[in-house]
Amino acid sequence: MRLGQLLWRRADPAKARHRAGVRVLLPAALPLAVLGIWWLALLRQWVRPYQLPAPGMVLSAFQEMLARGELQQHLAATSSRTVAGYLLGAVPAVVIGIGAGLSQSVRAFVDPTIQGVRAVPSLAWVPLFLLWLGIGERSRVLLIALGAFLPVYLNALAGVEGVDRRLVEVGRAYGLSGAAITTRIVLPASLPAILTGLRAGLSLAWMFVVAAELIAASNGLGFLLVDGQATMRPDRVLASIVAFALLGRISDAALGAIERRALRWRDSLGTAEPPDRTHPSPLSAEGGVTP
């Protein structure tokens, strides 16, 4: 349930119908308006086609690149290095973040350094990576990994730190071992924060793959962007942007689906009504029942 609904909720069928219309029309309104202005700008010759091609031309550039297999090849290059960089950054980030949340000494060991690295805008590392690793796949993947690492680490750390101490006490009171408390209480309790971090890390990974490919690459969607600029093909640039948008949306939706499934238990407010007592009045019942 949306917070707004909670704040201004009314049971009114006319309102409900109105809301259904809002759900369909409102999200489409802004893109349609942009398309309209785009088309109008070309019609009135506010911009030249070599600066901004017509929507149809972008579409046909898209189709043409698909037909030649060009787009697939660049999509594959970009996705594989994003996935590689993301895994390289996010997996250690989860482990180190949890470790730092659990142990004061791990935290004292890694956190100041990571905070120091965080203070540097990540793209500032690019020249160094290029110097060390050369213009190649390794420096690109490393840059993506660095971008993905920070949000995942920060969220995992905050998640573990924010675990309700009272739930940890339940484990202690019932004699669970430290390892059992960690795996059965601390980790599930910090899962929401970790998943938030993983999603943030993914969006940064997409951002950094663009940066990496803009700077130095001979394939990938980022390369397609630079190439389109160099060859004065804004239709190809826009088609690459659309491809990026699709990749980003699809990967985020996939993570979102995983998140919704893993966090079913906290899905907004109570949706199901709790079943009522299945028994008659306690007075008429035959007293206490034994297990």
Partner 1 sequence: MSGAAVSVQTLAVTLSGRPILHEISFAATPGEVLAIIGSSGTGKSTLLRTLAGLVSPERGGVDVRNGDERARIAVVFQEPRLLPWLRVAENVAFVMQGPRPARRQRAQAALAAVRLEGCARIWPRQLSGGMAQRTALARALVTSPHLLLLDEPFASVDALTRMELQDHVVELWHQHRFTVVLVTHDIDEALYLADRVLVLGGHPARVQAELDVSMPRPRSRTDPRLLALREPLLHALATPRAVSASGG
The window from 23-31, 55-63, 121-129, 273-281 that contacts partner 1 (CB under 8 A) reads 273-281
Q: How far is the C-alpha of 216 from the C-alpha of 66, rounded, in Å?
A: 24
Q: Contact between 104 and partner 1 (CB under 8 A)?
A: no
Q: Contact between 163 and partner 1 (CB under 8 A)?
A: no
CA distances from 148 to 8, 57, 84, 118 (A): 38, 35, 11, 12
Nearest-approach distance from CB 182 to partner 1, in angstroms: 14
Residue positions counted in the chain? 291
- Measured from the Cβ of residue 141, the count of other Cβ atoms closer than 10 Å reads 25
Q: Contact between 211 and partner 1 (CB under 8 A)?
A: no
Tokens representing 9?
Answer: 């909720």
Q: Contact between 265 and partner 1 (CB under 8 A)?
A: yes
Q: How far is the C-alpha of 199 from the C-alpha of 161, rounded, in Å?
A: 19
CA atoms in the 13 A half-sphere facing the CB of 95: 6
Interface residue with partner 1, options 13, 27, 69, 282 (CB under 8 A): 282
Decide whether 51 or 268 has the Cβ nearer to partner 1: 268
Q: Contact between 43 and partner 1 (CB under 8 A)?
A: no
Torsion of Cα atoms, 125 then 201 then 80 then 56, to 10°: -100
Tokens representing 265?
Answer: 């238990």
Decide whether 15 or 184 has the Cβ nearer to partner 1: 184
Q: Contact between 17 and partner 1 (CB under 8 A)?
A: no
CB 156 within 8 A of CB 193: yes
Ranges within 178-207 binding partner 1 (CB under 8 A):
184-185, 188-189, 191
Nearest-approach distance from CB 170 to partner 1, in angstroms: 5
Report which of 125, 150, 143, 117 is spatially closest to residue 210, judged by C-alpha positions.
143
Q: What share of the chain is helix, strand, coil (3-state, %, to 5)?
A: 75, 0, 25
Interface residue with partner 1, options 48, 172, 249, 260 (CB under 8 A): 172
Q: Contact between 283 and partner 1 (CB under 8 A)?
A: yes
CB 69 within 8 A of CB 251: no
Decide whether 160 or 238 has the Cβ nearer to partner 1: 160
Angle, CA 30 vertex, CA 27 and CA 32 arms, to 5° = 100
Interface residue with partner 1, options 173, 179, 218, 261 (CB under 8 A): 173
Q: Contact between 290 and partner 1 (CB under 8 A)?
A: yes
Nearest-approach distance from CB 108 to partner 1, in angstroms: 23
Decide whether 43 or 272 has the Cβ nearer to partner 1: 272
The window from 17-25, 26-34, 101-109, 275-283 that contacts partner 1 (CB under 8 A) reads 275-283
The window from 133-141, 208-216, 221-229, 276-284 that contacts partner 1 (CB under 8 A) reads 276-284
Decide whether 230 or 276 has the Cβ nearer to partner 1: 276
CB 187 within 8 A of CB 118: no
Footprint on this chain of partner 1 (rule: CB under 8 A): 166-167, 169-170, 172-176, 184-185, 188-189, 191, 263-266, 269-270, 272-275, 277-279, 281-283, 285, 287-291
